[in-house]
Each structure stands twice: as structure tokens, then as C-alpha cells.
A and B are shown apart, each in its own frame.
Chain A
Amino acid sequence: MSGSANIGVHVDHETQEDPQLLAEFQAKIDAGQLIEVDDWMPAAYRKGMLMMAEHHANSEIIGALPEGEWITRAPSLKRKLALTAKVQDEVGHGQMLYRVSQDLGKSRDAMLRDLITGKTKYHNCFNYPAPTWGDIAMIQWLIDGAAIMNQKTLADGGYGPYVRTMRRINMEEAFHFKSGEDMVLTLMSGTPRQKKIAQDAFDRWWGPSLMFFGPPDKPNARQLPPMRWRMKTVTNDELRQRFVDRFVPAAIDLGLKINVVEKDENGLVTASRPDDKVAFNKQTGHWEFTQPDWDEFFRVIRGNGPCNAKRLALRRLSYEQGHWVRQAILNGSTSLPPAA
């Protein structure tokens, strides 16, 4: 699901790269050639790509948690199988992306440890709760829809291993999105109670979906390393607008209302009103909308969201519970005393 890696790349200007190598590197990027793992690359690029792939990998395996909670509660055999397969896919994406990251120089164990100790981050949207089956439908429709939009542009990037992984992931995400669309459609074609479940979940997820693409861009986004080096190819705000243009009319078609909401500390909606900015602007050709609460975004990203502690605690439990198994696989021997 998940996978936006909208993270800043810090360039260490103390590192003096060889100007000629740097120029050749930039020329390759500008010519649309892919950078491969054994190619020369600036230290900041390696560090940035690692951060990006690692953040993306972390997001996949943390993203498995809110939906994973609902596998045991899925309301039909078909949905139960589909949801298990879907969450399994996310873990598979995590595995592929950790492999990309490992090749850039960090061990998987170090990455998993940094994740559970909070040294590295994962996508912000997984710090929100999924209290009903409707949330599972909305995650697969809105969040996976947003992820596809973002990842399609990441597949146009410049780092070969990451680009190829994105292409593969996007094929699977398309299934998730279709499944999400089907779940939302089923709820919205159902009983009044089912429609309310869908609308309530939509209200919880619309804001996090808008935030999915990261905060508003700096004015010089295109000149900064992530875009100059084709680590990303489209700005956050452009992606957000594409998402709105695609999903606002789709939501309206389905009978969903786009609301501006207030939430409590648990991420549950306490008040809502229609978003009166929502309208199609004929001059720009785009839908207008109210920006999400960016103060909330930065509060959650700093670790103070409704589910940050819960998600990390479960991930940590999994890591700790699995320790003896990994030990046995890595260090297992047949030197035990024979069976009695």
C-alpha cells in the first residue's frame, strides 16, 4: 500500500564530490538513464535513496498492521481471502524494498531495529486508527489509490533497482485498489447502516489521504536534490491535486459527502461540516478543496498521532518474539545431542 517516501534529503555540503564524476552522474540522470547499484553515485544520493527505500519498506510492513487486524473479522470468505492476500502483498513489498535498501549498504536487521526504536520513520497515514470494516474499504480505495498515483511517478525515477521494484509493486497495487473500490461500492449499495459505516470511514480517511503526498512543497522543490536527481519526479502539491481531481468526483458519484472534520486524540471524528470549497473550477480545470490540517500532520509525524505507539509496540513485539526463530535459522546446527 503505502508507499510514498516523501522525505527530505539532507545534502551534506561538507562532502566534496569529484566535480567530473558529479557532472557525469548528473548528465546520466538528465539523459534519462538509470543508475545501478554498482555505478558511481554521490554520497548524498546513496544516503537519500537508502532513506527513501527504507522509509518505503518500513511503510509497507507497518501498513500491514491496521489491515491485518481485520483479517480475522472480514465478513465473507471472499473478503477474508482477499484481505489476507492483500496484507501479504504489502509484506512482500516490504521484503522487496528492504532488499533494495540492503544493496545500498544497510543490513535488514539494522533497519528493523531502527524502525522499532523510532530512529527511522514510516508513512504517517498508518498512525491513524481503523475502527470499522469501512476503514479497510477506505484504506484500500483512498490510500492505495494515492499510493498508486505516487508510485507511478516514482517508477519514472532514476535509480534502477527502485524503479523496477516500483513497477512490480504497482501491478499489485492496482488489484488492491480494485478490491477497495469494490468494497466501497458494495457498502454504498447496501443498507443504511452499511452506507453510514462507509461515510464515517471516509470522513476519517479523507484528511490522511490528502496528507499522503507530504506537506506543501518549498518554492524551489524542482531545484532540490530529490527532483534534480530524479529520486522523485512530481511535486507533492501536483500529486495531491491529481488525487483530488480523480477522487472527489468518484466519491460524489458513489454518494459520499466530502466533509471537513475535527478529530480527538484517538483520531476519531468529533465534528464535521461539508467542505464548501469543493467545486470544479472550469478555468483551471481542477477541483478545489480545503487543505488538510497541516499542524496535525506535523504533530503526528513527530510521534504524537493516535496510533504511533501502538503500531511500533506491535512491530517490536513481532521482532522480539521472532528472535529465537531467526537465531535458529542463522545459527542452527545439528550438533545437538541425539534424541533420547
Chain B
Amino acid sequence: MPDLPEHLRKPLVNLLLAAADDKLFLGHRNSEWTGLGPILEEDIAFSSLAQDDMAHAAALYELAGSIDGRSADELAFGRTPEQYRCAAIVEVPDEFDWATAIVRRFFCNHFDLLRLTRFSQSAWKPLSDLARRLVAEQQVHVRHVDDWMVRLGAGTPESHRRMQKAIDAISPLATELFEPLDELKSLVDAGLYPGSDFAMYDQWREAVAHVLGQSHLTVHFEIGSPEDRGGRRGVHTQYLGPMLDEMCEVYRLEPKAAW
């Protein structure tokens, strides 16, 4: 598929932005830990994960920009809140709580691995080429965060209690990762985003449940109604606006300037 058909361009940009926005804000939130992690060695590792996520976002913005003509920085910094397509789970602050940071990363990393795997099978070669590279890194993320889930879930009574509390608080947001994007079906039908969200949801639940079992942790998911509008359709939590204000504080001083 050398040229994208006109009617698929907008839905594809939308899909790429959803993936990039999730990655950008997960990385952004996690980069708040750089220099403040609970253990020096993990501080360093967690920064690497945050950098990978933000670098994946940059690559996905480039790809989206190659379709609609905007630069990666314009896409990352230059939109209004309702133009972002990220899910609520990456918007909420973690309140400097390591359990929340890890649990958030756990749900997102497993989701991202499945989404990137679907990208890697896309009929649009620029996307499949990029995604194959990102999948390899994403697998490392999943291994790392799974290890933390087990260590803390099956650690001390206190760490177990904190982890369960974080799961109870974050899991209602986790399923919102699966909120359907507008016009997604056209991309699936055209082979640009092969597979189905239903199958992906089952795979995700299975992967997550497997690790939670090893961690002595439990979760109960409730999937929202398709009528509930969330981040995928531009309806965001109260946290996105202030996070964008902070992120764009310098950029907005001179949006046209080089920094």
C-alpha cells in the first residue's frame, strides 16, 4: 500500500496520535521520578523506560505528521486538550507513590505491547517497519514491570497492601485504554490495524491476570459502555489541562522559535 487512500488518512492519524499521546504522557509522568526513585539503580532504569516511551511517542508523531503535515513538536506541544487522544490512565498523577507508578506502567505496558504488535502487522509499511523495532523495546518494558509487580505484590505485607490499593484505584481507568476510536473499523478492514479490539482485550486480561496471580494480587475489571466518551474521543480528566500547561510552559513563550 504505497499511498494511503484519502478516507483512511484521518482515522490513521487519530490512531497514531492515540498511541503517541499514551506514550508521551506515560513517559512524561514517569520522568517525574528521574532523580527521585526509591533505589538508585531503579531510578536509572525507570528513566530509561520513560525515555523509551517518549522516544516511541516522537517516532509515532513523526509518522502521523508525515500524513497530515505537522511536525512532531507541533503535535506533542501545540494542540488543545480536546485534540489529544490519550486515555485517562496516563493523565492522572501518581502522587509520588511508587505502587501507583508501577501499577499504571503495568497496565499500560501490556496494552502497548499488544497495540504495537498489531501495528507491526500493518499493511502500511512505514508503520509496520517502525513498530517491529518498538515491539522489541516494549518487551523489555513488560519484563521489567512484571518483575516489579511480583517483587512488591509478593514482598512484605506492607508492599502487598500498597500494591493492592494502587490496583483498586487504577484498574477502573485501565479498561478505558480500550475505548474505541472513531472510524477504527475502516482501518481494521483495510489491514492497516489488523486484528480486533475484542481479541486484544482478552489477550490483555489474560496476560495481566497471569502476572497478578504470581503477585498475590487481585483485580476486578468492569468494561464501560461504548457510549461513555473518554480520552480517545477528546474527553479528558481534570489533570490533562494542568499537565499540558506545565509541559508547554516554555514552548508557548515562543511557539515559532527554535529551543
- A interface residues with partner B (beta carbon < 8 Å): 61, 64-65, 68, 71-81, 84-85, 87-88, 90-92, 94-95, 98, 108, 133, 186-187, 189-191, 193-194, 314, 317-318, 321-329, 331-334, 336-340
Nearest CB in chain B: distance from A176 CB, A: 14
- The reply to whether B44 and A88 contact each other, CB–CB distance below 8 Å, is yes
B40 close to A76 (CB less than 8 A): no
What total count of A-B pairs have CB within 8 Å? 160
Is B43 at the interface (CB under 8 A from chain A)?
Answer: yes
> CA separation between A325 and B101, bound complex, in Å?
12
Residues of A within 8 A of B157 (CB): 336
**A159 CA to B152 CA in the complex, in Å?**
39
A contact patch SS: helix
| Of A77, A322, A328, A333, the contact of B152 (CB 8 Å cutoff) | A328
How many Å lie between the Cα of A61 and that of B44 in the bound state? 11
- The answer on a CB contact under 8 Å between A336 and B154 is yes
Write the nearest CB–CB distance from A318 to chain B, whole angstroms: 4
Q: What is the distance, in angstroms, from B154's C-beta to the closest C-beta of chain A?
A: 5
Chain B interface, DSSP helix/strand/loop, else mixed: helix
How does the 8 Å CB contact mask read for B231-259 relative to A, with 1 for contact and 0 for none? 00000000000000011011101100111
Query: Can you list 9 contacts pairing A with B, beta carbon distance less than 8 Å?
Result: A71-B34, A72-B31, A73-B246, A75-B77, A87-B47, A88-B48, A90-B35, A191-B254, A327-B156
Q: When the two chains form their complex, are residues A84 and B257 in contact, meaning their CB atoms are under 8 A apart?
A: no
Question: Among the listed B58, B98, B159, which residue makes an inter-chain contact with A321, where contact means beta carbons less than 8 Å apart?
Answer: B98
A-B contacts besides A191-B257, A324-B159, A332-B151, 16 pairs, CB < 8 Å: A72-B28, A72-B31, A77-B54, A77-B58, A80-B28, A84-B50, A85-B47, A88-B34, A91-B37, A318-B36, A318-B38, A322-B39, A327-B159, A331-B155, A332-B155, A336-B216
- Give residues of chain B (58-95) contacting chain A, Cβ–Cβ below 8 Å: 58, 61, 72-73, 76-77
Q: What is B's interface to A at a CB cutoff of 8 Å?
A: 28, 31-32, 34-41, 43-44, 47-48, 50-51, 54-55, 57-58, 61, 72-73, 76-77, 96-98, 151-152, 154-160, 162, 213, 216-218, 246-247, 249-251, 253-254, 257-259
* Bound: A64/B218 CA distance, A: 37
A336 CB, nearest partner CB in chain B, Å = 5
Chain A residues, CB < 8 A from B34: 64, 68, 71, 84, 87-88, 91
Q: Give the distance in Å from the alpha carbon of A73 to the alpha carbon of B152 in the complex.
A: 31
Partner of B36, one of A68, A90, A133: A68
Tell me which residues across on chain B come within 8 A of A75, comparing CB atoms. Answer: 77, 250-251, 253, 259
Closest approach, in angstroms, between the C-beta of B253 and any C-beta of chain A?
Answer: 7
In the bound complex, what is the Cα–Cα distance between A75 and B74 (angstroms)?
A: 11
**CB-CB nearest 9 A-B residue pairs:** A322-B38, A328-B155, A64-B35, A332-B155, A328-B159, A88-B47, A325-B38, A75-B259, A75-B250
Interface centre among A81, A190, A325 (most CB of B within 10 A): A325
Q: Assuming A76-B73, A88-B51, is B35 touching A326 (CB within 8 A)?
A: no
Q: Are B39 and A76 in contact (CB under 8 A)?
A: no
Bound: A340/B164 CA distance, A: 12
On whether the beta carbons of B218 and A321 are closer than 8 Å, the reply is: no
Query: Min CB distance, B105 to chain A, in Å?
Result: 14
The interface residues of chain B lying within 8 Å CB-to-CB of A325 are 38-39, 98, 152, 159
For A71, what are the chain B residues with a Cβ–Cβ distance below 8 Å? Answer: 31-32, 34
User: Is A73 a contact of B155 with CB atoms below 8 Å?
Assistant: no
Give chain B residues whose Cβ lies under 8 Å from the Cβ of A328.
151-152, 155-156, 158-159
Return the chain B residue nearest A82 by Cβ: B51
Q: How far is the CB of A47 from chain B (nearest CB, A)?
A: 23
B19 to chain A, nearest CB (A): 15
Chain B residues with CB below 8 A from A193, complex form: 253-254
Q: Which of B39, B73, B151, B253 contacts A77 (CB 8 A)?
A: B73
Instruction: Please state if B213 and A339 are interface contacts (CB–CB under 8 Å).
Output: yes
Distance (Å) between the CB of B159 and the closest chain A CB?
4
A329 contacts B47, C-beta separation under 8 Å: no
Pairwise interchain contact A81-B55, C-beta atoms closer than 8 A: yes
Assess A94 versus B40: contact at CB under 8 Å? Given A80-B54, A317-B96, A332-B159: yes
